[in-house]
Amino acid sequence: MTAECLQQQFDEAEIIKENQATKSAVINHPKLSVANSILFFCHGYFNFDSPLDSGLELADEKLTLADIIQYLNLKNCRLVTLAACETGLTDFKHMEYVGLSSGFLLAGSTNIVASLWSVRSDATALLMLRLYQELEKSDNIVVALKTAQNWLRNIGVQELREWVREYPLISIWQVKLEEEFTQMENREGANFKPYNSPYFWAGFCVIGKGE
């Protein structure tokens, strides 16, 4: 649902979702080579024993680091956002920088937003939505991510519930989040900060030029 919400912010955004999000569909998408921004919202993992086998889990099979380096042409891409677990990790056993992020850099993208540990999906979704809001105001990706992280860290549950109501979310998701935050507010109070812990926001980083 995050992708559908973000689609409303871009004039020519396209979504490949669920069963359509196959490895072939991603690699052979006609607009991949001209895209300015790409978001992967899926499961990911880092293979410490074999970094080239690290990857993103698509509908039918994995898109591995080896695939990214071999098949993707992202020379026109300013930002690849990897809203998945462990996408920012690299091989620290050798003197080389090998990881999913470096693969997307080799493929041509100038910036990657990636995670350093397993991230909870609700916090990730909210952070990504806020990040792209901030990117509409700032050309600096580092500043936009930091601002989004501070927002998620410091926002109280009452304010968060109001933000969810105002943001153009998919209706079923909006109702679900409003119910969850209302219950949380009743239990913990209006000023309770549900995502204050660094676990929820500090795992994401920018790799690349930052602008």
Q: What pLDDT is stored for residue 147 in this prediction?
A: 97
Q: How far apart are CA 202 and CA 211, in angstroms?
A: 20
CB 102 within 8 A of CB 193: no
pTM (2 decimals)? 0.86
Q: How far apart are CA 145 and CA 113, in angstroms?
A: 8
CB 3 within 8 A of CB 39: yes
Tell me how crowded residue 161 is: count the other CB atoms within 10 A of its CB.
19
Pick the closest to residue 74 from 101, 111, 108, 112 (CA basis): 108
Q: What pLDDT is stored for residue 180 in this prediction?
A: 86
Strand order in the sheet with 44-45: 44-45, 55-57, 62-64
Q: What pLDDT is stored for residue 83 in this prediction?
A: 83
Domains of the chain, residue spans: 2-120+203-208, 156-194
Q: What pLDDT is stored for residue 211 in this prediction?
A: 77
| Residue-level pLDDT, tens digit, the chain, 211 residues | 566 666 666 667 788 888 999 999 999 999 999 999 999 988 888 888 888 898 899 999 999 999 999 999 999 999 999 886 655 445 445 445 567 888 999 999 999 998 888 878 889 889 998 999 899 898 899 999 999 999 999 999 999 888 888 876 666 677 788 888 889 889 999 999 999 999 999 999 999 988 7
Q: How far apart are CA 96 and CA 6, in angstroms?
A: 35
The DSSP result for 107-173, as a single string, is TT-SEEEEESS---HHHHHHHHHHHHHHHTT-S-HHHHHHHHHHHHHH--HHHHHHHHHHS---HHH
